[in-house]
Structure 1
Amino acid sequence: MTVKTLNDLFIHDLSDIYSAEKQITRALPKMARAATDEKLIAAFNQHLEETRGQIERLDEIVEVTPELKIRRMKCHALEGLVEEAQEIIDSVEKGEVRDQGLIGAAQKVEHYEIATYGTLYALATKLGYTKAAELLAETLNEEKQTDQKLTDVAESITVAS
């Protein structure tokens, strides 16, 4: 996709995060199965439900803004972050150390999402997509809350030295 205007950039980033969210819905169940800490498993499962809602919000943005069409593309950044999480699952024995590694991998994803949703919110505001901006702000807030929840879980896990 050639990006020449702010609207093109908005569509590109919206399409990219749509792909990212779809990848996250496939990765979170694997991460939950690989974790041992009950709070972490619950956090992954809760975020899976939130992610499904975020995909619905992205669909709603397209519905309420007919001039926007999400393009089929693959979010390569998320693909790499998911691969990193899989490496942790494959190379770290199940237990507290793996759980901490999974939290780190999940927070990398959260930070990518926070950056992307922040950019999308700013672009939607600038382009006058008021309803889209409201929906993006809601998702941005959820992503920040999930990041904090992961930090809280990481701090609660004790690792034997």
Structure 2
Amino acid sequence: MPEKEIRDVFVVGLRNAHAMENQALSIMKPQLKRIDNYPEVAAKLDQHIRETEGQINRLEEILDGLNEDKSTLKDLALSFTGSMAALGHTVAGDEILKNAFANFAFEHYEAAAYKSLLAVSEAGGYGAAMTGLQANLAEELAMAEWINDNLAALTKKFLSLREAGETAKV
């Protein structure tokens, strides 16, 4: 593939990842505001929000290094859809579980995007971008692993709170 085409694929992928991370923030921030009975989830979400903000900065640095801008339109569109997705779970009696399921899936989606970007980066000779992309990938995989490792305990806590008549939703 010609170098220009690889560059175009890489830049579009970086812009998509930037928008994806903004979407992630628009999903996680409302979740964090609604969590009362699950401090361990709140702490992990808060940590991952900070990581996501760092991921956005890394992506912007890579784009800047290529003399490219982020796509404001994609950022806005995906942030809006993320906000709507987060809002959709607020009416569910098992909101905390639905959020965990959605977050688990989204973390894997993000990881796939970074694995693909790393492959394009390697094919195009964009070695300077690889460290930032690998850091983003590692954080997404770590969050997915945390959700995986804690989903059963979260579900049991939800059931326990519900049985006790407490608000189990958030």
- The TM-score with structure 2 as length reference comes to 0.79
Higher alpha-carbon Rg? 2
**CA–CA separation in structure 1 for the residues paired with 2:51 and 2:63:** 19
Aligned length: 153
Letter in 1 for 2:53: R
SS, match of residue 154 in structure 1: helix
1:11-160 equivalences in 2 (<5 Å): 11-35=11-35, 36-66=37-67, 68-74=68-74, 80=81, 82-89=83-90, 91-93=91-93, 97-157=94-154, 158=156, 159-160=158-159
Distance 1:79 1:10, change over 3 A: farther
Letter in 2 for 1:151: N
**CA–CA separation in structure 2 for the residues paired with 1:51 and 1:29:** 11
Instruction: Tell me the CA shift for residue 155 of structure 1.
Output: 2.0
- Give me the identity figure in percent: 24
**CA–CA separation in structure 2 for the residues paired with 1:115 and 1:83:** 23
Instruction: Tell me the CA shift for residue 125 of structure 1.
Output: 0.8
Is residue 26–residue 83 contact of structure 2 (8 Å, CA) maintained in 1?
A: no
Deviations 1:104-126, CA, capped at 9 Å, x for gaps: 11112212111111111110111
**CA–CA separation in structure 1 for the residues paired with 2:28 and 2:138:** 19
Unaligned 5+ runs, structure 1: none
Is residue 25–residue 51 contact of structure 1 (8 Å, CA) maintained in 2?
A: yes
Structure 1 window deviating more from structure 2 (4-13 vs 78-87): it is: 78-87
**CA–CA separation in structure 2 for the residues paired with 1:27 and 1:84:** 7
Unaligned 5+ runs, structure 2: 164-170
**CA–CA separation in structure 2 for the residues paired with 1:82 and 1:105:** 13
RMSD: 2.2
